[in-house]
Amino acid sequence: MSFFKDKTAIITGATSGIGQGIAAALIREGARVVLSGRDEERGRNLEQQLGPNAHFVAGDITRPEANEALVQAAMGRFGRLDMLALSAGRLGIGKLHTLSVEDWQETVSTNLNAVFYLLKYAIPEMQKGGGGSIVIIGSVAAFHAFPNHPAYSASKGALPALVRQLARDYSPEVRINLVSPAQVITPLLHNSVKAFDNPDEILEETAQKLPMKRLGLPEDIAHTVLHLLGDQASWVTGSNFVVDGGFLAT
């Protein structure tokens, strides 16, 4: 029987890309999943596609009350909260001096503040239930500069330090780890390469420059996330796992 059978997870950014890949993988393993996203229609379609163990809650995770509602939904519908996968992300493309204050604030709110909000409300419920496991989706942008990504890089760069701190504060009941992908084929990646004059060529060139000679897939990240959420990683916390096709080795 799967470790994930009858366990409950919240997944942010669940309606596309990496978050959707994680949701589908957890459902296949028997988990019950609360899906978070802003797009009501897309979320309801995904809920129907994934079946009765999926429950969509629309909301803006940059608002504290939306994150509290996700935790309440997990507890109210499934009676427990065991896992979190925080996958929502925003780019905020532009050189720092041209970036609007609103774009900066929205990017930091999505990539960093929303992490704080969900963990603030979720960790106490996980502790009451005997513990749990958390995976945050970071980025290699925390360790490598990309053109015109100051807000994204800064907000993702804060996550390794936050994960180490939380591992110290909440272990052994709650484990928390970071997964840092490189270029994964998602809507976010296609928006990211708009920072270049030749986005289509950049994607092809990037794939060929990687040691693995291809861009990543959401499933590549989901495999690592499920390993970290599961009991096979029971002695792993406070760590960062780079899943990048060899990008940082180039």
pLDDT for the residue numbered 159 = 98
The predicted-structure confidence for 9-22, as pLDDT tens digits, reads as follows 999 999 999 999 99
Say how many domains are in the chain: 1
DSSP letter (8 states) at residue 232 = G
Residue 159 in contact with residue 112, Cβ under 8 Å?
A: yes
- Mean pLDDT estimate for the chain: 95
Q: Does residue 250 fall inside a structural domain?
A: no
Decide if 140 is inside a domain.
Answer: yes
In a domain, 212, yes or no: no
Q: Is residue 200 part of a domain?
A: no
CA–CA separation, 164 and 63 (whole Å): 24
How far is the C-alpha of 11 from the C-alpha of 84, rounded, in Å?
Answer: 6
Question: How confident is the model at residue 195, as a pLDDT?
Answer: 65
Q: What CATH number has the domain bearing residue 81?
A: 3.40.50.720
- Structural domain containing residue 152: 8-185+217-245
The verdict on residue 2 lying in a domain is no
**Burial tier of 207 (Cβ tally within 10 Å: 0-12, 13-18, 19+):** middle
Q: Sorting pLDDT into bands at 50, 70 and 90, what band is 36?
A: very high
* Residue labelled with tokens 């774009």: 103
Pull the structure tokens for residue 67.
Answer: 């994150």
Does residue 210 sit within a domain?
no
Give the pLDDT of residue 134: 98
Which of the four pLDDT bands, split at 50, 70 and 90, describes residue 151?
Answer: very high
Tell whether 113 is covered by a domain.
yes
Query: Distance between CA 190 and CA 67 in Å, rounded?
Result: 27
pLDDT score at 95: 94
pLDDT tens digits along 186-218 = 988 887 777 677 877 888 898 999 999 999 999
Helices (H), the chain: 17-28, 40-50, 64-78, 101-108, 114-128, 150-157, 159-170, 187-192, 199-209, 218-229
Q: Which positions are catalytic? A: 152
Residue 204 domain flag? no
